[in-house]
Amino acid sequence: MLAMSAFGVFAYGFLALLIWIALAFWPARVAGRKGHSFIGYFILSLFFFPLALILAYVVQDKRALA
């Protein structure tokens, strides 16, 4: 019973990690489409997801200005 619960904790933890990383791509893709750094926004959204999401939608489109 203990081994089964340890596997469950590992499985749910791994699933949570995958969801966390997948969600971090959202602001990075939005910022990347606007001409900003994909990697920079991805790293920012790993630690501060709400801030990165708001910034990605608020920043100006660099490609439209050029």
Look at residue 14 in the predicted model and tell me its pLDDT. 95
Does residue 40 lie within any of the structural domains? Answer: yes
Contacts of 6 (CB under 8 A, 6+ apart): none
Look at residue 3 in the predicted model and tell me its pLDDT. 60
Longest dimension (CA), the chain: 62
Does residue 35 lie within any of the structural domains? Answer: yes
Question: How many domains does one find in the chain?
Answer: 1
Alpha-carbon distances, residue 31 vs 40, 64, 66 (angstroms): 9, 13, 16
Range of the domain at 44: 17-65
- Reported pTM: 0.81
- Render pLDDT for 1-41 as a digit per residue (tens, 0 to 9): 556 688 888 989 999 999 999 999 999 999 999 999 999 99
